[in-house]
Chain A
Amino acid sequence: MAIVKTDRHPDLPPPASQTGVVGWLRENLFSSPLNIILTIIAAFIAWEALSTFLSYTLIHANFAGETKADCTDTGACWVFIKARFGQDMYGFYPPEERWRVDVGYVLAAIGLFFVLSDFVKNKKWPAIYLFGFVPVACFFLFHGGYFGLEVVETSQWGGLFLTLVLASVSIFVALPLGIVLALGRRSDMPIVRMMCVGFIELIRGVPLITVLFMASVMLPLFLPEGVNFDKLIRALVGMSLFSAAYMAEVVRGGLQAIPKGQMEAAKSLGLGYWKAMGLIVLPQALKIAIPSIVNTFIGLFKDTTLVLIIGLLDLLSIIKAGTTDKNWIGTATEGYVFVAAVFWVFCFSMSRYSIWLENKLHTGHKR
């Protein structure tokens, strides 16, 4: 009689306490007495914060109604946002013309989708569409005055629409201009270099609020009376130049990380300066710089709220103005929570896209 088992016993599943949810909890949250205590404390704090937040924003919040008097429960008065939603999104843009903004959004969204995603490999036409056609089309759509569209002056632009215009124009101008400035700063030509260094250091040395203030308060005084640049254009120029200076330093950081040998190898293959830069050095440099570039974009997006000080009513300031409507006094918290949520959605999406892009372009030198 053989008592020796000849065939292998099939593997048993790991004990229930080591797998699944229970195993994960034991491993990560309750592995030692100290961790048990910490977990309980953390859970308590999280519960306290979350339950207050949820009860304010959802459970006891007011959604139905038209006026502040309809907000009878203790939580947030979302009626405020609902009643003024159009204004928060489009500012003083005439309601019957708001479709033009929506069309602009759709045009831009189509372009962004094809340029940013992997859907088509050859980005030439999408890029021409997004960077050539869309800005021109959006200008005619938003401002009007041609093709039978009624003129909507920029003083009527506001809300999230204005925030997006400010952010996208600044980003659109800042990246190319920043690259040029970064190359200029590393140039061998002394005059070009000095001009670029001077510009970058001058702009980077002052706060954005000063640039905006300068553009909006001082500039009109230097101009002859009656000559007035559009307020929005002044803000756009200020913001674009400001972010270009920052972008230049970000790009320069990327450029400096590329070994000199890359440029030398490119030149030895017979490539000129622009081809070597455009085909060999810049693609690598920009790839390294992605996290910082996106970081700058996110910062820029949030900085757009500073236009409040020159009297442009972007998303944040139009909501602030709304809370001073005598029928809506005391809704400041709702307004700020809403603005925070909108900003978070935009910034978080940018951040996620940058991570996706980094992974896509990852070629093995990541540490």
Chain B
Amino acid sequence: MKKASFLAVAATATLMATAASAATLDDVKAKGFIQCGVTTGLAGFGAPNNEGKWEGFDVDFCRAMSAAIFGDPDKVKYTPTTAKERFTALQSGEIDVLARNTTWTFTRDVSLGFEFIGVNYYDGQGFMVKKSLGVKSALELDGARVCVQSGTTTELNLADYFAANNMKYDSVVFDTADEVREAYLKDTCDVYTTDKSGLYAQRSVIANPDEHVILPETISKEPLGPLVRHGDNEWGDIARWTLNAMIDAENLGVSMKNVDELKKSSQNPSIQRMLGVSGDLGDQMKLSKDWAYNIIKMVGNYGDVFERNLGASTPLKIERGLNAQWNKGGILYAPPLR
């Protein structure tokens, strides 16, 4: 996920690509759909369901944009992209927006010529251990055998963390996530480390998920977010405020279920502005008045989307953690829609 070898290729890309076409919104409206780059398959974030429809947390972001622009969440065409080619696909105009668990970093934002429009999932490297071990914190892991996937930044973060806390460890390295899980289950190692979203996904596969705990420490920052091309701020604004509207809606208590009722009866000016009862927020983005209403009604607010794809009702059972609202112990904080 975080291999950096493609950076060189993508950097060349920036040099060679001509200036991004200025009016993605007009193009999108003309062709009648959004071309959205998604992952080729990551549990909870994007995968085809039994009927071949794409589903997932990142996929729902594309659907939200479609709801905002067209008033219909299904005017999206999906392009499955791999970690290597995702940036070229966006750069070359093959896709209009990339929503593919991509970590927001300086180089990607600045020198690759992209614009990250926000963070839709705060991920970070964590540890999973067997409950029977009785470990409550990563700081108790001195001398542990740690299973890790090779060739990822995970290995480096691990080394840094243990060195910084003056602890020793033995790393047991494997090539794929499945191998790491099997080794962990066969007690080849005591600890399984990777990004927390990955840990939750792997835990859901284990026969008795409840016998394993994910430790509270997060040892690296992996802010994942959707991105668009540099240079088309109008399009970037739509993407940014789609995400912000979803987060803000949760904060204001506007959800898929009560949005109709609140649109009719709410006296809260913030909610009235968001749902297009008053003000002209939609017009300012060249969208309809009820753009945010459509997002919430058709796709849901941030919490609805999280619950549906990652939350307690799914096999993944990911806790909100950092991804809770700022007033509920997390760090999700959307600027006001005003």
Contacts and interface: CB of A to CB of B under 8 A. Distances in A.
Asked if A and B are interacting partners, one says yes
Interface string A179-223: 000000000000000000000000000000000010011101111
B48 A325 contact: yes
Contacts of B9: 217-218
- A221, A308, A310 — which one has the most chain B CB atoms within 10 A of its CB? A221
Nearest to A228: B94
B79 interface: yes
B147 to A, nearest CB: 17
Contacts of B56: 326
A309 B6 CA distance: 13
Contacts of B40: 308, 311, 313, 317, 320-321
A92 to B, nearest CB: 5
Contacts of B79: 155, 311
A87 interface: yes
B52 interface: yes
Interface residues of B, number: 42
A331 to B, nearest CB: 9
Contacts of A50: none
Contacts, number: 113
A221 B88 contact: yes
Contacts of B52: 86-87, 91-92
Q: Is the interface of A mostly helix, strand, loop or mixed?
A: helix
Contact of B48 (A92, A217, A310): A92
B7 interface: no
Interface in B81-118: 81-82, 84-85, 88-89, 91-94
Interface string B10-26: 00110011101100000
A310 B85 CA distance: 7
29 contacts: A84-B50, A87-B48, A87-B51, A213-B85, A217-B84, A218-B9, A220-B89, A221-B17, A221-B88, A223-B92, A225-B18, A226-B93, A309-B82, A311-B79, A311-B89, A312-B80, A313-B40, A321-B48, A322-B41, A322-B48, A325-B50, A326-B44, A326-B55, A326-B56, A326-B204, A329-B205, A329-B315, A330-B204, A330-B205
B47 interface: yes
B50 A221 contact: no
B21 A217 contact: no
B49 interface: yes
Interface of A: 83-84, 86-87, 91-92, 155, 213, 216-218, 220-226, 228, 231, 308-313, 317-318, 320-327, 329-330, 332
Nearest to B88: A217
Contacts of B18: 224-225
A310 B50 CA distance: 23
B204 A329 contact: yes
Contact of B93 (A222, A225, A310, A321): A225
- A224, A326, A327 — which one has the most chain B CB atoms within 10 A of its CB? A326
B320 interface: no
Contacts of A308: 40, 82
Contacts of B316: 326, 329
B93 A228 contact: yes
Contact of B41 (A312, A320, A330): A320
Nearest to B13: A221
B21 A325 contact: no
A325 B16 contact: no
B75 interface: no
A231 B51 CA distance: 23
Contacts of A313: 40, 80
Nearest to A323: B41
B145 interface: no
A152 to B, nearest CB: 13
Contacts of B205: 329-330
Given A92-B52, A326-B55, A327-B50, 6 more contacts: A155-B77, A217-B9, A217-B84, A223-B92, A226-B21, A324-B47
Interface string B47-86: 1111110011000000000000000000001011110110
A217 B43 CA distance: 25
B43 A325 contact: yes
10 residue pairs, one from A and one from B, having the closest CB atoms:
A330-B205, A321-B41, A324-B41, A220-B92, A325-B47, A324-B47, A311-B80, A217-B88, A324-B43, A92-B52
- B20, B92, B205, B314 — which one has the most chain A CB atoms within 10 A of its CB? B92
Given A225-B21, A226-B93, A311-B80, A217 B85 contact: yes
Nearest to A229: B94
A249 B243 CA distance: 55
Contacts of A321: 40-41, 47-48, 80
A308 B85 CA distance: 11
A300 to B, nearest CB: 21
B35 to A, nearest CB: 9
Contacts of B20: 225
Contact of B94 (A92, A220, A224): A220
B283 interface: no
Interface in B180-219: 201, 204-205
A329 B92 CA distance: 33
Contact of B315 (A222, A226, A309, A327): A327
A310 B82 contact: yes
Contact of B85 (A224, A311, A318, A327): A311
Contacts of A329: 43, 201, 204-205, 315-316
- B56, B80, B316 — which one has the most chain A CB atoms within 10 A of its CB? B80
B170 interface: no
- B9, B42, B47, B79 — which one has the most chain A CB atoms within 10 A of its CB? B47
B178 interface: yes
Nearest to A331: B205
A338 B316 CA distance: 25
A92 B84 CA distance: 23
A321 to B, nearest CB: 4
A313 B56 CA distance: 18
A228 B92 contact: yes
Contacts of B50: 83-84, 87, 325, 327
